[in-house]
Structure 1
Amino acid sequence: MSSPSDIPRDIPGDTPNANPSRPVMQLLARGLQLWVRQQCQSIDSLEIRLEGSPLQLLRGRLAGVRLLARRVVYQQFHLELVELASGPIQVHVGNLLRGQPLQLEQAFQIQGQVSFTPAGLTRSLAAPRWRSLADSLGETLLGIVPLGGVRIHHDKLVLTALAQGRPDPIEQETTVASVGGSVEIRCVAGSPSYLLPMDPGITIGAARLEAGMLQLLGAARVSA
């Protein structure tokens, strides 16, 4: 993956007069930006870089796309940072030239990294879509529901909950690791542990706590 500084804000290419493919590149970039935003509930900032030769781009084939997005809400997950690179993508350039929305011809692969802040994790687990997951985490790892929140302390993910009749929250330090393409959250004492349910189209290759965030590295298949 490229670092954020490796992804330029401008679409690559020569000056408009020197490169006749630039209008098509701009159309593709705008079309992809709109398509990505439509997949999400909100995105604060989004940068996209197209990869491929001018001839490939004119034919609607991209060698790949690199994406950098900040403060993304996707399916009620609150993501602080998303850094992705795709495989080849086929698009209908003719539709774009006629002012129609971007249409992808086939599914494609992506790989990269998503990062959660503790506040983002807490908001995600409190969302209606993921409330049952939060309850399962709390019941399995804390022995109590509902799960109150999440914080990061050094290299530990700390789960918290409030128990009736107790003024102080119950806390459980856990570790995170990639296991079988998913994420395992395990109590520091060794047990119990909880393996997150994972979409079959997503594979997590690494999970780590770094820079005060939960970082997941992996790959996924995106439907057209």
Structure 2
Amino acid sequence: MPIDHPSETDHPSRRSRLISSVLSPAVRLWLRSQVESVADLQFQLEGGDRQILSGYVPKVSIAARQAVYQGLHLSQVDLTGENIRINLGQVLRGKSLQLLEVVPVFGNLILHQRDLTASLQAPLLATALSDLLTILFQPETRHLLPPELASALGTDTVHLTQPQIELGHQQLTLGGILTNTNNGTNRLPLLLRTGISLSNRSKLCLQHPELLPTPTATESTPLPHLHEFAIDLGQEVELQELLLEPERLVCRGRISVVP
């Protein structure tokens, strides 16, 4: 979906002419450059002319819907950044807006089930999924898998195609089709159900993962070697809350926006 959506608006502060005449257009262009697409984007800048002239913006509030950021599909984004330093002198000369310091941004993200499935090719999730499969099917632990699965896959490297995610209450189920590197004729369904917890606020950890033979199966195969498997979100991320609900994931926390 194009970024230039007709519902995109901004709300300049009445106290600053610089915000309405100079800063709002520059911020709008900068925000557009940060996302691949967005259906609805709104922002509000706060500050007086004296503050803005010094290159200081006390507060920026951003609300976006159906945004794609670095391959991650986000249904709803509500963020607030404070104490922002920018290159206003260059902006006044027609240059692009740039951040001069790291900006801590606080807010909420909401992803629906379809968003997560669409985001599985994003670098962060694709890397985590590859690491997960490497540990799940490493030779020294394949004996922990159901015998028919281990036998069919052999010792080749395994890939997951057609990945999908189903969200439940504080757990998720990862599904897809497993194929061998050297023998692509073996196509086996995968259903992995796991709980999710926060660790050190910058890592997501699997809790008691298990393999399911079918989506409605009452029996499963525990995967103890994947318990506490961590997905590192990076030093710039600090989550305060992670809520998994049927078909929806809600994140609350802080991210550091690096210039």
With the length of structure 1 as denominator, give the TM-score of the two structures.
0.78
Partner of 2:230: 195
Offset of 1:211 from its aligned partner? 6.8
2:13, 2:44 within 8 Å by CA — same for their partners in 1?
A: no
- Which residue, out of 51, 61, 64, partners 1:66? 61
Change (3 A) 1:107 1:124: same
Over residues 32-77 of structure 1, what are the superposed CA-to-partner deviations in whole Å (9 max), with x where a residue is unaligned?
2211221222222211111223431233211111111122222222
Q: What are the residue-to-residue correspondences of 1:136-147 with 2, within 5 Å?
A: 136-138=131-133, 140=135, 145-146=159-160
Over residues 180-202 of structure 1, what are the superposed CA-to-partner deviations in whole Å (9 max), with x where a residue is unaligned?
12222323678423211221222
Q: Which residue identity is paired with 1:53? A: G
Q: Which residue identity is paired with 2:195? A: T
2:10, 2:24 within 8 Å by CA — same for their partners in 1?
A: no
State the SS of the aligned residue for 1:80.
strand
Please identify the structure whose Cα radius of gyration is greater: 2
Offset of 1:138 from its aligned partner? 4.3
Distance 1:220 1:98 in 2: 30
Percent same amino acid among aligned pairs? 26
Is 2:206 the partner of 1:185? yes
State the SS of the aligned residue for 2:120.
helix
Q: What are the residue-to-residue correspondences of 1:33-52 with 2, within 5 Å?
A: 33-52=28-47
Distance 1:66 1:211 in 2: 29
Change (3 A) 1:49 1:26: farther
Partner of 1:121: 116
- Which residue, out of 196, 204, 214, partners 2:239? 204
Change (3 A) 1:126 1:97: closer
Over residues 105-157 of structure 1, what are the superposed CA-to-partner deviations in whole Å (9 max), with x where a residue is unaligned?
22221111222222221222134674332233345569674162101134431
Distance 1:140 1:120 in 2: 25
Change (3 A) 1:85 1:24: closer
Number of matched residues?
Answer: 210
Moved more, 204-213 or 105-114: 204-213
Distance 1:171 1:98 in 2: 56
Q: Which residue identity is paired with 2:191? A: E
Partner of 1:11: 11
Distance 1:25 1:60 in 2: 15
Unaligned runs of 5+ in 1: 1-8
Q: Which residue identity is paired with 1:174? A: T
Is 2:251 the partner of 1:223? no
With the length of structure 2 as denominator, give the TM-score of the two structures.
0.69
Partner of 1:4: none
Over residues 155-185 of structure 1, what are the superposed CA-to-partner deviations in whole Å (9 max), with x where a residue is unaligned?
431111335465xx43233222221122223
1:138, 1:161 within 8 Å by CA — same for their partners in 2?
A: no
Change (3 A) 1:99 1:119: same
2:57, 2:83 within 8 Å by CA — same for their partners in 1?
A: yes
Partner of 2:183: none
Unaligned runs of 5+ in 2: 1-8, 138-144, 146-157, 179-185, 211-221
